[in-house]
Amino acid sequence: MARQLNIRSDEAYQIANDIAQRTGRTRADVVLAALLSYRETKTGKKLTKTQRAFVDELLALAHRSAAVARPGTTSDHSHLYDERGLPK
């Protein structure tokens, strides 16, 4: 017997029901497709080898940059300006 997942949300039910009616699929199929799509988006499982290599390159660059950043460095670049907003 399949395990069950109960979602107590009127909005989720309405969205799943609307998509199911429009596509002729069951609500369970719609929810499963949405979960699979979300997982692929968040984990990168559908990336090509070239895309995955690019993402890995960017992550490596981010890690190298973080390793050499000075303490107090912020992403708003406030460390580059004095209290009057002029460049240091």
Could you please report the per-residue DSSP string of 35-57? Answer: HHHHHHHHH-TT--HHHHHHHHH
Overall average pLDDT of the 47-69 stretch: 88
| pLDDT band (50, 70, 90) for residue 16 | very high
The pLDDT score that the predictor gives to residue 46 is 74
| Global pTM exceeds 0.85 | no
- Determine the 3-state secondary structure of 77 from DSSP: coil
| pLDDT band (50, 70, 90) for residue 29 | very high
